[in-house]
A and B are shown apart, each in its own frame.
Chain A
Amino acid sequence: MAEHAIPPRNSRPGGEHVVSAGHPLRRLVRRIPLLAWLVLVWLLLWGTYDLGTTLFGVLVGVLVTGFFPAPPIVTDIRLRPWGIVRLVMRLAWDLVVSTARVSWHAVAQGPRARAAIVEVRLVTDSDHLMAMVANAVSLAPGNFVLQLDRANRICYVYALGCGRDASERVRREVLAWERSVVRAVGTAEQLRLVERTHRGVEVD
């Protein structure tokens, strides 16, 4: 997956760089979310929440981000809190349902289990969305993304225990995941695109 997620260098002249060679103060401000995350992990690992640990966490975080600067990431994702909550809840629900389904397959069908590898073309054209959709599809048992064709926006999804209409069902499922992911982190334009396609699928 990793090699597909790397965008070609300088392909988007108008793209924003998260860590740019701009003003030092701006660079510092853009490093804050990463720093906050590092401090949080540090606190969780120690399991003690006091001022001293926090200060040491900040110190270690600054040193780490200073010595090992993260490469510039060109991204166009927009965080939508309500969408993210719904995505996480959907992931959790899917995890439970799919685990029950695959457990049933393991016991009832076992060696006679059937599978399918289905080609699904995503609606949106974004490295990060594609990586997130692939991860969402692969989290629960039963389905995983076997191969990605980034240039043509195609996911090859392995699905365990599908019936005769495997292609159509898997395609709908993956597109539904894409819709959830776009609702959580997509831009307004991508959201419009996905909703339009969703209505088109309903009409078909």
Chain B
Amino acid sequence: MSWVDLFSGICLITGAASCLFGAIGLLTFPDVAARLQAATKPQTLGLILILIGSAVRLEARDASGLILVGLFQALTAPVLAQLVGRAAYRAGSVREETLDVDHLAHRIERERRRGL
């Protein structure tokens, strides 16, 4: 077993574990916003680690396309999280009792009162 195999193995297993914890969080967290953290984000790290793990075992010219996969995952995941999160908040799917602080609710309340 060479060092490349070892490195690749560590990357693949850590990446898979990261995805697994994401799945566990998806089941255990209490509301949409928290589940969103588990659903979208550990997958980013998991995917990137799996891509690195695979890339070191491939030839350079075959591996280079994987850069795009990682890049677009890193670019799109935050946008997705923001859109779904905002929709969930507006639909009232973020459970208030799990929040310690909610400045956005204060703000909306203030503006509603000013509107009246």
Contacts and interface: CB of A to CB of B under 8 A. Distances in A.
A114 B24 contact: no
Interface in A1-58: 1, 41, 44-45, 47-49
B103 A156 contact: yes
6 contacts: A96-B45, A105-B29, A106-B22, A115-B99, A135-B78, A147-B89
Interface string B51-84: 0000000000110110110000011011101110
B78 A144 contact: yes
Contacts of A142: 37, 41
Contacts of B18: 99, 103
A117 B108 CA distance: 13
Tell me the interface secondary structure of chain B in the complex.
Answer: helix
A115 B104 contact: no
Interface residues of A, number: 45
A113 B25 CA distance: 10
B104 A47 contact: no
B105 A102 contact: no
Contact of A141 (B38, B67, B75, B100): B38
B99 A117 contact: yes
A115 B101 CA distance: 8
A134 interface: yes
A139 interface: yes
Contact of A113 (B22, B34, B81): B34
A111 interface: yes
A138 B90 CA distance: 19
Interface of A: 1, 41, 44-45, 47-49, 95-96, 98-99, 102-103, 105-107, 110-119, 134-135, 137-142, 144-147, 156, 158, 160, 162, 164, 166-167
Contacts of B28: 106-107, 110-111, 113
Contact of B38 (A47, A102, A114): A102
B79 A106 contact: no
A146 B45 contact: no
A171 to B, nearest CB: 10
A142 B94 CA distance: 15
Output the residue of A47, A112, A158, A162 with the most chain B CB within 10 A. A158
